[in-house]
Amino acid sequence: MSDTIQETKTGEFSADVDLSCARAPVGLLAELTHRCPLQCPYCSNPVELERVNTELSTEDWKRVMREAGELGILQIHLSGGEPTARRDLEEIVEEAAKAGLYTNLITAGVLLKRERLEKLRDLGLDHVQLSIQDVDAENANRIASYKGGAEKKHEVTKWVRELDMPLTINAPIHRQNIDNLPAIIDYAVKVGAGRLEVAHIQYYAWALKNRAALMPTKEAFMKTAEIVNEAKERLKGILVIDFVVPDYYAKYPKPCMGGWGRGIINVTPSGKVLPCHAAESLPGLEFDNVRDRSLSDIWLKGQAFEKYRGTDWMKEPCKSCPRKEIDFGGCRCQAFALTGDAANTDPACSLSPMHEEWAQVATEESHTETPEFIFRRMGSTPANAG
Ligand code: SF4
Ligand code: FES
């Protein structure tokens, strides 16, 4: 028996399919391009950005949308880089809507025009998620290294609401904007967002390079938790706030991606299918491409998806831990970046033998003088960036 769509939906699987993936992924993160006019130093894209001449064609992306719908995926997150840099975004959105997917545009907003947004809405775009760097425009534009960005984003918030579309504001929080959190919450209410993501930086890829420039002190982090709790209570029915804590100050890690190969598929601009956006940093994984293999086949049997799916791959202390099916041992990419073995317990976990040493790094770096950012640029490396 093969892994056809119907079989996926009805849950009838052959013996060669791991039953821990016997449900469709909930979401697909489509990195349509790595091109972006902004240069945020905490970008979640890989440090080696994919170039425009490797990007999937319009027809390839349209097929991905159809295959995602057939696989039973519910939500498509159109991301980048900056997804509006793709001139064929309209065609991709239209195909996604036809495939029955809930479409979310994750955008920095600065390339958008009102007419284009309206057209995207009319073609089926369901939701806009707009990232902001700060409410202080000068600081925001410095962090993004983009003049006039904050002002443009503000215009976009107005268009989204005028066009009667739901709006989420995504606000990455770090030591260079953390004091403005109360104003960021007020801003989200003012512009009519239904949801605000107060997202402390997760330290992979570009953010890992910029860790000392971004890491808040533990005291500052604790204060944000208080501010968010108070605001959640006060703004019930007005604004939903999602709070992403920084791993370095947590007791247990988060189940990164909801667990490896359990709920999310990431497709890169060139069509590589990854279990998480940073998976290419791990050695020994083979990434299939949507040009060669169907999404459902990759999801069910792809080597990279099977490698850390479930719990069989775990070592101690995760292996015998009662939380192993809650957090799935944390983040594989962080475990590899910090311990050299992706199967190790994520050092974010207080049960990891490396936890104390690792948490100390955050304390030290958050108290050092703030270094210059290494901005996200094509070909930017610590040696030549800045
Ligand atoms: Fe999670 Fe592993 Fe830590 Fe247990 S030991 S809490 S499974 S990361
Ligand atoms: Fe790859 Fe967490 S970012 S598993």
Tens digit of pLDDT for each residue in 181-219?
A: 999 999 999 999 999 999 999 888 889 899 999 999 999
pLDDT tens across 240-291, in order? 999 988 888 888 998 999 999 999 999 999 999 999 989 999 999 999 999 9
pTM, two decimal places: 0.90
Nearest to 239 by CA among 191, 283, 205: 191
Whether ligand 1 lies within 6 angstroms of the CB of 318 is answered as yes
String of b and e for 217-252 (b: at least 16 CB within 10 Å)?
bbebbeebeebbeebbeebeeebebebebbbbbbeb
Nearest to 317 by CA among 360, 282, 355: 355
According to DSSP, the residues that pair with 289 across neighbouring strands are 272
Whether ligand 1 lies within 6 angstroms of the CB of 353 is answered as no
Whether ligand 1 lies within 6 angstroms of the CB of 255 is answered as no
Compute the distance between CA of residue 131 and CA of residue 376 in angstroms, rounded to an integer.
16
> Do 72 and 101 form a contact (C-beta atoms < 8 A)?
no
Compute the distance between CA of residue 242 and CA of residue 312 in angstroms, rounded to an integer.
31
Amino acid 383: pLDDT: 36
Tell me the CA–centroid distance for residue 25 and ligand 2, in Å. Answer: 16
User: What are the Cα distances from residue 325, in Å, to 254, 300, 318, 334, 341?
Assistant: 11, 19, 10, 18, 20
Lowest mean pLDDT among 16-20, 31-35, 301-305, 380-384: 380-384
> Do 365 and 212 form a contact (C-beta atoms < 8 A)?
yes
> Do 285 and 298 form a contact (C-beta atoms < 8 A)?
no
What values do phi and psi take at 342, rounded to 5?
-65, -20
Amino acid 20: pLDDT: 52
Burial of 15 (0-12, 13-18, 19+ CB in 10 A): exposed
Tell me the CA–centroid distance for residue 256 and ligand 1, in Å. Answer: 12
Whether ligand 2 lies within 6 angstroms of the CB of 203 is answered as no
> Do 335 and 343 form a contact (C-beta atoms < 8 A)?
yes
Amino acid 15: pLDDT: 41
- Residues whose CB falls within 8 Å of the CB of residue 180, separated by 6 or more in sequence, listed in order: 134, 135, 136, 139
What values do phi and psi take at 20, rounded to 5?
-70, -10
Compute the distance between CA of residue 128 and CA of residue 117 in angstroms, rounded to an integer.
10
Q: Atom 1 in ligand 2: which residue has the minimum CA distance?
A: 333
| Per-residue tokens: 92 | 């991709």
Amino acid 248: pLDDT: 84
Model confidence at 11, in pLDDT bands (50, 70, 90)? Answer: very low
Nearest to 143 by CA among 151, 134, 152, 135: 134
pLDDT tens across 66-79, in order? 999 999 999 999 99
Whether residue 13 is predicted with pLDDT greater than 70 in this model: the reply is: no
Tell me the CA–centroid distance for residue 5 and ligand 2, in Å. Answer: 27
Q: What amino acid is encoded at 288 in this protein?
A: D
Q: To the nearest whole number, what is the mean pLDDT of the chain? A: 90
Whether ligand 1 lies within 6 angstroms of the CB of 313 is answered as no
Tell me the CA–centroid distance for residue 252 and ligand 2, in Å. Answer: 15
